[in-house]
Structure 1
Amino acid sequence: MASVVVVGGGAAGLSVAYYLQQAAPQLQITLLEATARLGGKITTVAEHGFVLEGGPDAVVRYKPWALELMQKLGLENRIVGTKPAHPSALIHDGREARPIPAGLQMVIPGDLWALARTPLLSPFGKARALLDLLLPQGTPEDEPFGAFIERRLGRQVWERLVAPLSGGIYGGDPYELSTLAAFPQLKALEEQHGSLIRGAIRQRRARGSREKGQLFASLEGGLGTLVEAIQARLSRIEIRLNTPVTALERTGGWRIHTPQGSLQADALVLATPARTAGELLKPLHPEAAAALRQIPYGASSTVTFAFAKEQLPPRVGHGMLMAAQQGFSVRGFTWIDQKWPGRAPEGYGLVRAYFSGLEASKEELARLALHDLARLWGRAPEPLHTWVFHWPEGLPRYTVGHRERVSQALRAQELPGLFLAGAAYHGVGLPEVIRMGQEVAERVLAFAGKPTGAETALS
C-alpha cells in the first residue's frame, strides 16, 4: 500500500489530504503540522457572543474552488452571503470617505459614466485616466504593478483607487507587485485591447456587473467551520500536531525526520511556506531551495474591536479602505456586524482593522487601529473586547520576478515523489490554494498509481 506524508496543516495541506483520501481511501496518509492546531491562518474565534476571523474572512464567488469544496463537505446550507449594502464599501482619500465607483472589473473602471461621476478623482485625475484609451501599448515584459497602473491610468487612479483595492490581497507594498504574477488578467487587457479601460468596458458588457450579485461568501460560524468539516472527514488519516519536520532524506522513497521520530513515505507533499520548504530541500536540490528561500513574505495582522453600538457613529456599507500616501497605518476597516449576519449580539458593533507589511507588537497594532478610527470618527470609543492576530510572515509577496522564482522553485519536484503546494506559487487567496491542493492530489495519485474511479472522486 502506497504511503504519503503531507507536511503542513493549513488550507493547502488540508485540501491535499482531503482530496487524496476521497479518491484513494486505501492510501496510507499522514498529515504533520508544526503547531497545535489545523487551519493555518484560518482562525475563527467565538467569544462573548461574537464571531470573528483572525485571518481570511471570505472567499470570492467567481473563483469557485472553495465553494465547491464546501458543497462536497455538505456545507451548502451554511454558506452565507454579505448583508445588502449600497455602496458596499468606501475609500478614504485623506479628507473624507467616498464610494467606490460602480462597474469595476477587478480594479479597473469599466463604466465611463461612473468614472466621470466619482468624487474619488479630480477632473485632472479623470482626464489622465482617459488617456489610457489613446496611449500606445506597452511592452510584454513584467513591471511593478504600481508603475503599470500609473503608466496606463495615472498616479491618482493608483493612489486613490487601485492601491487601496489591491493592497489587502498580497503582503507588503502593492506598488512592488509583479503585474504578470499578481494581475496577469490586467496585462492581458492591455495586450488584447490596447487599453485597460476599453478592455474593462468590453469585459463588463460580456460578463455583467458584479454589483448585481454578492461578490463574497463565508460560512455560518465563520471559515473555521470549513477546517472543522475537513478534519471530520479525515478519519482514515493520521494527524500529528506539534510535529515540525527537521530534515528530509531520499531513501528510495522519503524519510521525514521530526523531533518525535522518523517516518517513511513513497510520496511527500510540502504544503509549507516557501522558506520552510527551501530550508528542508537545501541538501537535496540546492538550486530550487535557493529560489524557494528568495520568495519574499510580508507581515499581516488583524485587530478586531467590540463596541457598544450606541457609542459608534453611523457607518456606511461593509467597510472602508484607505488611499495610499495619506498617513493611515491600517489598510482598511471592516464593519463586521454590518457585513455578515450573526457575528455580533444585538446592540453591539464589531470592527476589524487590517494591516499589511507592518511589524509591530500586538499592543502597538491595537493602538494604531484605534488612532486611525479616531481620525475617521473624531474620537474612538473604548472597546469592550479586543482581539489581535499577527503573522510576521503572513503573506507571500509576488514581486517582480516571481514567475521566474516559482519556475525555478518548482524544479524541486524533479525529485521523485516530491510535490509542493501553498500560497507561495500561483495565488494567495483561499480558492486558489484549495485549487492547487486538488491539483497536487491528482499528481500524487498519478505518481502512486491512480485507482479506478479516482477521476470521479476528484472532479
Structure 2
Amino acid sequence: MAHLIIVGGGISGLSAAYYARRAAPELKITLLEAEARLGGKITTVVEEGFVLEGGPDAVVRYKPWAIALMKDLGLEAQMVGTIPTQPSALIHDGHQALPIPPGLQMVIPGDLRAMAMSPLLSPLGKARAALDLVLPKGPEQDEPFGAFITRRLGPQLWERLAAPLSGGIYGGDPYAISTLAAFPQLKALEQTHGSLIRGALQQRKERGSREAGGLFASLKQGLGSWVEALGAHLPEVEVCLGTPVEGLRQRGEGWQVLTAEGGLEADAVLLATPGPVTARLLQGLHPAAAAALGEIPYGRSATVSLAFPQEKLPPRVGHGMLMAANAGFRVRGFTWTDQKWAARAPEGYSLVRAYFSGVDGDEATLLNLAKVDLSRLWGRLPEPQRAWVFRWEQGLPQYTVGHLNRVQQALEAEALPGLFLAGAAYHGVGLPEVVRMGQERALKAVGFLQGASLPPVTVEPGGV
C-alpha cells in the first residue's frame, strides 16, 4: 500500500489530507503536526457565551474553494454571513473616522459619484486620483504596491484608502507588497484599460459590487468548527500531534521523514508547512529552493479580543475600523465582533478585536497598546471584563517584489519525485487560496502514487 505523509496540520495540510483520502480511499495517509492541536492559525475560543477568533475570522465568498470544502463537509447549514450594515467599515485618518466609499473594486474607486461625495479624500486628493484617467500606462514589470497606487491615484488615496485596506489583508508593510503577486488584476486593469478607475468602472458594471453583507462567510461556532469537521472526516488518516519533523531524506525511490520518535517511510511527502520550516527541510535536498523560500519574509501578527459591558461603550458604526497609514495608531484595525457576526457575545456584552501586524511585544504589551488606541478613539475607556491575546511570531508571509520569481524557484523542489509543496507562502495568504493549493497538490500526489500521467498542476496568483 502506497504511503503519503503530509507535514503540517493547518488548513492547507488538512485540506490535502481530505482530498487525498477522497481521491484514493486505499491510500495510507499520515499527517504530522508539530503543535498539540490542528488548525494552524485558525483558533476559535468558545466560552461563557463568547465566540471569538484568535486568527482569521472569515472566508471570502467569491473565491469558491473554502466554501466548497465547507459544503462538502456538510457544514452548509452552519454557514453565516456578516450582519448587513451600511457603511460596513470606517477608516480613521488620524483625526476622525470616515466611511469607506461604496462601489470599490478591490481597493479602486468603482463609483465616481460615491468617491466625489466621500469626505475621506480632500478636493485636491480627489483631483489627483482623477488624473489616473489620463495618465499613460506604466511598466508591465513588478513594482511595490504602494508605488503603483501612488503613481496612478496619488499619495492621499494610498494613505487613506488603499494602504489600510491592503494592509488589513496582507499585514506587514503594505507599500512593499508585490503588485504582481498580490494584485495582478490591478496590473491587468492598467494594461488593458489604461486607467485603474476606468477598468474598475467596467468591472463593476460587469459583475456588480461585493457589498451589502455578502462578501464574507463564517460558521455559527467560528472557523474552529471547520477544523473539527475536517478532523472528523479523516477517520482512517493517522494524525500525529506534537510531532515536529526534524529532517527529510530521499531513500531509494521513496522518502524518510525524521521525527524525534524515529524515521517514517513514505512513497510521497507533501510539505504544508510555513516557508521557514519548508526551507529548513529542503536545505540538503534542494538548496536553491530552500534559499528562495528563506527569502520570503514573515512578519509578526497578533490579535487582542476584549469583552465589555455593552452599556458602557459608545455607539460603534458598522463592522469595524481600519487605520490610515501614518495616522499614529499601533493597531492596524478594530473589529466590532458583536456587530459583525450574530451571537458572538452573551446578552449585554460587546466584543472588540484589535489586529496587530509587525508589532513586537508580549501579551501584556499588546493588550495595553490595544487599550491605548481604543482610548484615543473613544476618550474614556471602560475596563474590559475579559481579554484574550493571540500572538504569531511567524504571522503571514510577505509577498514583496520578486515574490513570483522566488515561488517559481521554490517549487522547482517538486522536481524531486514524490515531493509536493503547499501553503500560504506561495500563491495566496487567504484561506480559500491555501485550500485550493492543498487540494491541487494532494491530487497531484495521488496521481504520482497511482502512476497516472497527469498534466502539470499550476496555481495562479490568487490576488484579492
TM bracket, shorter-chain basis: over 0.9
* Alpha-carbon shift at residue 189 of structure 1 (Å): 0.6
* Deviations 1:54-82, CA, capped at 9 Å, x for gaps: 00000011111111000000000000001
Q: 1:260-271 residue pairs with structure 2 within 5 A?
A: 260-271=261-272
Q: What CA distance in whole angstroms lies between the structure 2 residues aligned with 1:292 and 1:159?
A: 30
Residue 172 of structure 1 is matched in structure 2 by 172
Q: What CA distance in whole angstroms lies between the structure 2 residues aligned with 1:116 and 1:224?
A: 42
Q: What CA distance in whole angstroms lies between the structure 2 residues aligned with 1:240 and 1:450?
A: 27
Q: 1:182-193 residue pairs with structure 2 within 5 A?
A: 182-193=182-193
Q: What CA distance in whole angstroms lies between the structure 1 residues aligned with 2:219 and 2:73?
A: 12
Q: What CA distance in whole angstroms lies between the structure 2 residues aligned with 1:192 and 1:402?
A: 23
Q: What CA distance in whole angstroms lies between the structure 2 residues aligned with 1:26 and 1:168?
A: 42
The one-letter code of the counterpart of 2:251 is T
Q: What CA distance in whole angstroms lies between the structure 1 residues aligned with 2:300 and 2:169?
A: 12
Q: What CA distance in whole angstroms lies between the structure 1 residues aligned with 2:86 and 2:192?
A: 33
Residue 297 of structure 2 is matched in structure 1 by 296
* Alpha-carbon shift at residue 210 of structure 1 (Å): 1.5
Q: What CA distance in whole angstroms lies between the structure 1 residues aligned with 2:146 and 2:388?
A: 32
Q: Is the 8 A contact 2:84 2:213 kept in 1?
A: no
**SS of alignment partner, residue 423 of structure 1:** coil
Residue 99 of structure 1 is matched in structure 2 by 99
Q: Is the 8 A contact 1:171 1:297 kept in 2?
A: no
Q: What CA distance in whole angstroms lies between the structure 2 residues aligned with 1:154 and 1:224?
A: 41
Residue 121 of structure 1 is matched in structure 2 by 121
Q: What CA distance in whole angstroms lies between the structure 2 residues aligned with 1:177 and 1:290?
A: 20
Residue 457 of structure 1 is matched in structure 2 by none
Q: What CA distance in whole angstroms lies between the structure 2 residues aligned with 1:94 and 1:101?
A: 18
**SS of alignment partner, residue 425 of structure 1:** coil
Q: Does 1:7 align with 2:17?
A: no
Residue 382 of structure 2 is matched in structure 1 by 381
**SS of alignment partner, residue 211 of structure 2:** helix
Residue 245 of structure 1 is matched in structure 2 by 245
Q: Is the 8 A contact 2:170 2:398 kept in 1?
A: yes
**SS of alignment partner, residue 141 of structure 1:** coil
* Alpha-carbon shift at residue 47 of structure 1 (Å): 1.6
* Alpha-carbon shift at residue 212 of structure 1 (Å): 4.1
* Alpha-carbon shift at residue 289 of structure 1 (Å): 0.8
**SS of alignment partner, residue 347 of structure 2:** coil
Q: Could you say if the C-alpha distance between residues 173 and 37 of structure 1 is closer, same or farther in structure 2, counting changes exceeding 3 Å?
A: same
Q: Larger deviation: 255-264 or 205-214? A: 205-214
* Alpha-carbon shift at residue 171 of structure 1 (Å): 3.0
Q: What CA distance in whole angstroms lies between the structure 2 residues aligned with 1:163 and 1:373?
A: 21
Q: What CA distance in whole angstroms lies between the structure 2 residues aligned with 1:11 and 1:450?
A: 27
Q: Does 1:392 align with 2:355?
A: no
Q: What CA distance in whole angstroms lies between the structure 2 residues aligned with 1:164 and 1:339?
A: 19
Q: What CA distance in whole angstroms lies between the structure 1 residues aligned with 2:372 and 2:129?
A: 33
**SS of alignment partner, residue 170 of structure 2:** coil
Q: Could you say if the C-alpha distance between residues 309 and 450 of structure 1 is closer, same or farther in structure 2, counting changes exceeding 3 Å?
A: farther
The one-letter code of the counterpart of 1:94 is G
Q: Is the 8 A contact 1:7 1:271 kept in 2?
A: yes
The one-letter code of the counterpart of 2:402 is G
**SS of alignment partner, residue 428 of structure 1:** coil
Q: What CA distance in whole angstroms lies between the structure 2 residues aligned with 1:372 and 1:329?
A: 7
The one-letter code of the counterpart of 1:406 is V
* Deviations 1:109-136, CA, capped at 9 Å, x for gaps: 0011011000000000000000000000
Over the matched positions of the two proteins, sequence identity in percent amounts to 68
Q: Which 4+ runs in 1 deviate beyond 3 A? A: none
The one-letter code of the counterpart of 1:289 is A
Gap runs ≥5 in structure 1: 452-459
The one-letter code of the counterpart of 1:186 is L
Q: Does 1:146 align with 2:146?
A: yes
Q: Could you say if the C-alpha distance between residues 389 and 213 of structure 1 is closer, same or farther in structure 2, counting changes exceeding 3 Å?
A: closer
Q: 1:191-210 residue pairs with structure 2 within 5 A?
A: 191-210=191-210
The one-letter code of the counterpart of 2:358 is G
Residue 458 of structure 2 is matched in structure 1 by none
Q: What CA distance in whole angstroms lies between the structure 2 residues aligned with 1:249 and 1:392?
A: 28
Q: Could you say if the C-alpha distance between residues 315 and 49 of structure 1 is closer, same or farther in structure 2, counting changes exceeding 3 Å?
A: same
Residue 344 of structure 2 is matched in structure 1 by 343
Q: What CA distance in whole angstroms lies between the structure 1 residues aligned with 2:84 and 2:104?
A: 18
Q: 1:3-152 residue pairs with structure 2 within 5 A?
A: 3-152=3-152
Residue 286 of structure 1 is matched in structure 2 by 287
**SS of alignment partner, residue 446 of structure 2:** helix
- RMSD value over aligned CA atoms? 1.0
Q: What CA distance in whole angstroms lies between the structure 1 residues aligned with 2:369 and 2:124?
A: 33
Q: What CA distance in whole angstroms lies between the structure 2 residues aligned with 1:35 and 1:209?
A: 40
Q: What CA distance in whole angstroms lies between the structure 2 residues aligned with 1:259 and 1:249?
A: 15
Residue 456 of structure 1 is matched in structure 2 by none
Q: Is the 8 A contact 2:102 2:114 kept in 1?
A: yes
* Alpha-carbon shift at residue 450 of structure 1 (Å): 6.8
Q: What CA distance in whole angstroms lies between the structure 2 residues aligned with 1:379 and 1:190?
A: 46
Q: 1:423-442 residue pairs with structure 2 within 5 A?
A: 423-442=424-443
**SS of alignment partner, residue 87 of structure 2:** coil
Residue 353 of structure 1 is matched in structure 2 by 354
Q: Is the 8 A contact 1:89 1:320 kept in 2?
A: yes
Residue 403 of structure 1 is matched in structure 2 by 404
* Deviations 1:313-368, CA, capped at 9 Å, x for gaps: 00001100000001000110000001101100111000000011111111111100
**SS of alignment partner, residue 211 of structure 1:** coil
* Alpha-carbon shift at residue 170 of structure 1 (Å): 1.4
Residue 255 of structure 1 is matched in structure 2 by 256
**SS of alignment partner, residue 115 of structure 2:** helix
**SS of alignment partner, residue 15 of structure 1:** helix
Q: Is the 8 A contact 1:297 1:395 kept in 2?
A: yes
Q: Structure 2 length as normaliser, TM-score?
A: 0.96
**SS of alignment partner, residue 250 of structure 1:** strand
Gap runs ≥5 in structure 2: 453-464
Residue 311 of structure 1 is matched in structure 2 by 312
Q: What CA distance in whole angstroms lies between the structure 2 residues aligned with 1:26 and 1:169?
A: 39
